[in-house]
Structure 1
Amino acid sequence: MRRMYVVSAQRLKQILIIVTALLLAAGIGYAERDTIAAFSGNNQAPQAIYKVDTKEKKIALTFDISWGETRTVPILDILKAKNVKSTIFLSSPWSQRHPEIVKRIKEDGFEIGSHGHKHDNYSKYTDEEIRAQISKADTILTEMTGKKPNLIRLPNGDFDKRVLQIASDLGYSVIQWDTDSKDWTNPGTEAIINNVLSKAHPGDIILMHASDSCKETHLALPVIIDKLRQQGYEFVTVSELIAGTNVKSKEVE
């Protein structure tokens, strides 16, 4: 009987070791769930990228341009003078009307992404119309810059699962943002600065605009750049930010 008891105790010890290992593995899996969210389970479908999961103090300033001709150049001047990398999303009709500015954006080394063709909510379009809008912008921007864009920010930040899938089929990653400067509301220079500085974080994608409808961006931008640099941030393009890292996306209805 004593021998039977000893054998059972050893077996129980083995079972406890196995159970403990399984619990630890489950805990690790749970802890890493957020890190791998963009690549696991139901997230195999294309998703928009909002930010990057990193502890490195890298940040991407992004600008949308779809209208006007007076605000863009001052913003480009600031970015160049302060040696700030940036990703600029261009609507193709605006690009056709301002080829000289597009040329400068390219020559200054800024990353160029697509902002689509017609500035409208593509989620209300048919699949064929969505494809036509993205493809038309793709053709125009490729011809003007000599390089096919692979990033797109959809007009008004609007999309659904169909739009994401079609964009992916056409070779695009959809880029959103995690911090909105809200410069498009013209809330005042100090408000724009605070909107960015109060929310900026490592791996952040910041939304700003270089269209004429945004009248205060060029005033807020130098302060934002200087303050973020004082905090130790490095400015990188979106492509540099997302390369080899775990991106953060959100579920789409």
Structure 2
Amino acid sequence: MTFFYTLHAKKTKQVLLLVSVSFFTALLLFTQNSLGIPVFSEKDSPKAIYKGEKGVALTFDIGWGDEKAAQIVQTLIRHKAKATFFLSGSWAERHPDLVKKMKEHHFEIGLLGYNYVDYTSMTKEEIKKDVLKAQEVFNKLQIEQIKLLRAPTGHFNQEALQVAEDMNLTYVHWSIDTNDWKNPGKSFILSKAKEARNGDILFMHASDSAKQTNAVLPDVIEASRSAGKLVTVSELIANGKVETKPIP
């Protein structure tokens, strides 16, 4: 026996609308996950800045190493490129002359804690103690009133964000990860930089693990400038609306 089913036109539209909404919801979640930005629904929780509105910010983390940082600083100076360096206090203690050079050439300096440790494995009190120890180092180096913080390993949680807020620091994430510390090849690093658009924060490294970064940096600078004016993170924040994401 053959059965025939007739769908009402209105019901058909409702089904199609439901399918469309489901598709775009899935696409949004996929996009957020691909950016590595977790989402948390509590609007009053502390947040991390990961994007601005006007300009492109090059950021470099330095947790250890004696070789690559000086080369990268010199390349940035040669190309008259602004950048923000997130420095661990233990590294800054061992390289005071290079930190002084960064300051003299008006590079922005942010905190990367003191020890290169994973903040997600620490209590709120332990995180605060690590940040305070880093602040002591920079005060001794006469670099005061640092306003930016990034977790040493890039991994953070609500406790880390709360510490930043309690200490009147702005927690800075990123919108584009070049993965340069994995040494994936200069062409790959450059391809990530070419994804930059106005408002993006690029994540790079100046520790010795990033062996390819300095060689490709001139091209990264050029690609970033084609997307927008190079600015520090603080300038990016001041230039207009910023995008933030809370996490659980």
Q: What TM-score results when the alignment is normalised by the length of structure 1?
A: 0.79
1:119 alignment partner AA? Y
1:85 alignment partner AA? K
Runs in 1 of length 4+ with deviation above 3 angstroms?
A: none
1:47 alignment partner AA? K
Are the counterparts in 1 of residues 193 and 223 from structure 2 also a CA contact under 8 Å? no
Distance 2:154 2:131 in 1: 14
Q: Does 1:235 align with 2:240?
A: no
Distance 1:227 1:124 in 2: 36
Q: 2:118 aligns with which of 116, 121, 128?
A: 121
Q: Which has the larger radius of gyration?
A: 1
1:152-198 deviation digits (Å, cap 9, x = unpaired): 1111111111111111111211101000111010011111111211x
Per the alignment, residue 149 of structure 2 pairs with 152
1:45, distance to aligned residue in structure 2 (A): 2.5
1:70, distance to aligned residue in structure 2 (A): 0.8
Distance 2:206 2:88 in 1: 12
- Superposed, 1:74-93 pairs within 5 Å as 74-93=71-90
Are the counterparts in 1 of residues 56 and 227 from structure 2 also a CA contact under 8 Å? no
Per the alignment, residue 214 of structure 1 pairs with 210
Are the counterparts in 2 of residues 142 and 149 from structure 1 also a CA contact under 8 Å? no
Q: Does 1:190 align with 2:183?
A: no
Per the alignment, residue 204 of structure 1 pairs with 200
**SS at structure 1 position matched to 2:219:** helix
Distance 2:239 2:190 in 1: 30
1:58-101 deviation digits (Å, cap 9, x = unpaired): 10000001111110111111111111111101000000011111
Count of residue correspondences: 208
Distance 2:142 2:99 in 1: 8
Distance 2:232 2:139 in 1: 19
Are the counterparts in 2 of residues 141 and 148 from structure 1 also a CA contact under 8 Å? no
Distance 2:124 2:74 in 1: 39
Uncovered stretches (5+) of structure 1, i.e. residues with no partner? 1-40
Q: Does 1:48 align with 2:48?
A: yes
Distance 1:108 1:87 in 2: 12
Q: 1:139 aligns with which of 124, 136, 140?
A: 136
Distance 1:244 1:104 in 2: 26
Distance 2:99 2:140 in 1: 11
2:46 alignment partner AA? P
Are the counterparts in 2 of residues 106 and 145 from structure 1 also a CA contact under 8 Å? no
RMSD of aligned alpha carbons = 1.4
Structure with greater proportional helix content: 1
Per the alignment, residue 244 of structure 2 pairs with 249
1:148, distance to aligned residue in structure 2 (A): 2.3
Q: 1:98 aligns with which of 71, 74, 95?
A: 95
Are the counterparts in 2 of residues 122 and 130 from structure 1 also a CA contact under 8 Å? yes
2:230 alignment partner AA? F
1:49 alignment partner AA? I
